[in-house]
Structure 1
Amino acid sequence: MDWTSVTLEYCSAPSGGAEEFSFQANGWGADIANKLARKCDVVNRGLSGYNSRWARIILPRLLSSHSSADNNNNIAAVTVFFGANDCALEDKNPQQHVPVQEYSENLKEISRLLASSGVSADRVIFITPPPVHEAAWEKECILKGCPLNRHNSAAGQYAQACVQAAGQCGADVLDLWTLMQKDGQDYTVYLSDGLHLSARGNQFVAQHLWGLLESRVADLPFILPYWGDVDAKDPESSLLCDQ
């Protein structure tokens, strides 16, 4: 029996917590997993605070832990969600900052590493950083004893680089930075503190990501038969029929 999976590789993105903790209540990862219940596994590989430079280093280990190219052929999609930590201002947050050109190259290398492990580019979805509400995030920074360390304009540069890298790799892209600010809407409702996703932000990500995922998983059958279809007198004939 083949078990298909959707791997959520979103180690950094909107400030760390939004990806590592996306499986918490009302998280966008939990929403996607719920939609795919009994159709495939949704694997969380989010690492709070990480940037694309560090992800590029550890990705081979993550891929090897998936065991084999045969297993990777059963991956329906991989999301690559970086940028909000990379775009931290170099003079205010050098530990997380990654120059935009290196960020772009890291995304391309991540795509190449995935392809070499059997995950083709048409199964990869890049996700850009969302916008930053500087006034709200500055308050959080001050509480932590540091100055404002991110600008929305910088997040936009990294979002643009992500969109371009996706196009060059042949991958899909979910441009949160643009979508959340489209038509002058109040994007602050999507952020809990100016940087991390709010409940509405998680819902926004889940809704738009599902739009890219749905066609990829539409034909997946349910794993194992419906309970009412199991032969009670000979359950093995129903439950082991694919082995």
Structure 2
Amino acid sequence: MLSNPQIVLFGDSLIQGCADVSGGFSFQAALQAQVIRRFDVVNRGFSGYNTSNALSILPKVFAPPSPGVPELKYLFILFGANDAAVPLPTNFQHVPLDKYKANLAGIVNHPIITAHNPKIFIVTPPPLDEIRVTVLDQEKGHPAAARQTKVSAAYSQTARQVAAENRGVTLIDLHKALMDRAIEKTPGFDPKGRPALGDPEGGVRGYLEHLLPDGLHLSAESYRIFYDLVRPHVSTEWAGTRDEDRVGYVLPDWRDAPWLEEDSYLKGKSR
């Protein structure tokens, strides 16, 4: 039975959305195209989940190494947007910051994960456009915004800390990349000494309007930025080789297949 090694995307709706194609770009499709026939890109995104939920389901999502279980080679972890939801009578996703940190470290160091010895990446939750979120959350019946810019930024900073404190873990700073793009594309906005874009205190959404259409979830442009951050970290040892289109395949290219040895005519025609 063919069993390609896996690249697993583990997270909340931001990971679930990696498979979306409606905006003209799919993070998951782009990554799969990069590693086609070498790795399988597996989406394990669970909309609405926080890190406590993630820890509870982890043994159902990942199997320990054994014959027939695909090898986990890369693991990308993106949780925190729901942990950072503020406590409201209408929302119960919140996980305190210290618990979030412990949960994230618990995922990274879970025995099932460490048994595979994958390359592990922690992705910071993206920025938040609280101005937009406030409008939409109140329309849904919440008494106030379920998420706040400064609170969400604190969870992103904690994700950075977990990556720094756990050996062998690489940080993918999606929060910084998206905020940098938003600042770059917002004419006249100087972030020094001012509230962040999307913070009601400053009252400026700027280019976050394009990167986070509903204030929380990523646009196709944001997923492309995310992919550009991830792409250099995924194995590309075949890139630039003479036979780049077939080096590293789990099963051989048709031109290298053993059955060609059985038919000298076909072998001659294939070269």
> Which TM-score band applies after superposition, normalised by the shorter structure?
0.7 to 0.9
Normalised to the residue count of structure 2, the TM-score between the two structures is: 0.74
In structure 2, stretches of 5+ residues that fail to align are 185-206, 239-246, 264-271
Structure showing greater Rg: 2
Q: How far is 1:43 from its partner?
A: 1.0
Other-structure match for 2:201: none
Matches of 1:93 and 1:30, distance apart in 2: 35
1:212 and 2:204 are equivalent in the alignment: no
1:148 and 2:149 are equivalent in the alignment: no
Equivalent pair of 2:177/2:225 in contact (CA under 8 Å)? no
Matches of 1:228 and 1:73, distance apart in 2: 26
1:3 and 2:30 are equivalent in the alignment: no
Other-structure match for 2:55: 56
Normalised to the residue count of structure 1, the TM-score between the two structures is: 0.82
Equivalent pair of 2:208/2:215 in contact (CA under 8 Å)? no
Name the structure, 1 or 2, with higher relative contact order (CA <8 Å, separation 6+).
1
Change (3 A) 1:123 1:69: farther
Q: Secondary structure at the match of 2:154?
A: helix
Query: Pairwise mapping of residues 2-151 of structure 1 onto structure 2 (< 5 A)?
Result: 3-10=4-11, 12=12, 16=13, 18-25=14-21, 26-64=25-63, 67-68=64-65, 74-91=71-88, 94-113=91-110, 117-120=114-117, 123-146=119-142, 147-151=144-148
- Matched residues, number: 225
Matches of 2:94 and 2:178, distance apart in 1: 23
Aligned letter for 2:33?
Answer: N
Matches of 1:39 and 1:227, distance apart in 2: 15
In structure 1, stretches of 5+ residues that fail to align are 236-243
Matches of 1:92 and 1:208, distance apart in 2: 37
1:222 and 2:249 are equivalent in the alignment: yes
Q: Secondary structure at the match of 1:22?
A: helix
Q: How far is 1:46 from its partner?
A: 0.8
